[in-house]
Amino acid sequence: MEQSDPTHLVRLGRAYVRLIEAAQLLIAYAEHDGEVERLRQLAKDYQAGLRELVGKVPAHVSADIMAASEKVLGTVQNVGLN
């Protein structure tokens, strides 16, 4: 699959969105400061990757990527349903 294929880009972007949401959920339940810091850094790295990807694609592809937000697909707790 070519990297500029819109389907590939949407899947990649949606993965970033879900990973960010999962990291944020895990932060809320983290028991150790070190774990919280690692998860925050992970979320920050995924957010940077998502911003970079969204900045390179047409608006309609960005919209498809952002459709992965929990408002559309349900919360991360229900990830089995996504």
Helices (H), the chain: 6-29, 33-56, 59-66, 70-73
- pLDDT tens figures, 13-38: 989 998 998 999 999 999 999 999 99
Query: What is the reported pLDDT for 4?
Result: 72
Confidence class for position 6, pLDDT limits 50, 70, 90: confident
List the domain boundaries for the chain. 6-69
- Side-chain half-sphere CA neighbours of 71 within 13 A: 3
69 three-class SS: coil
Higher-confidence position of 40 and 3: 40
Query: What is the reported pLDDT for 43?
Result: 94
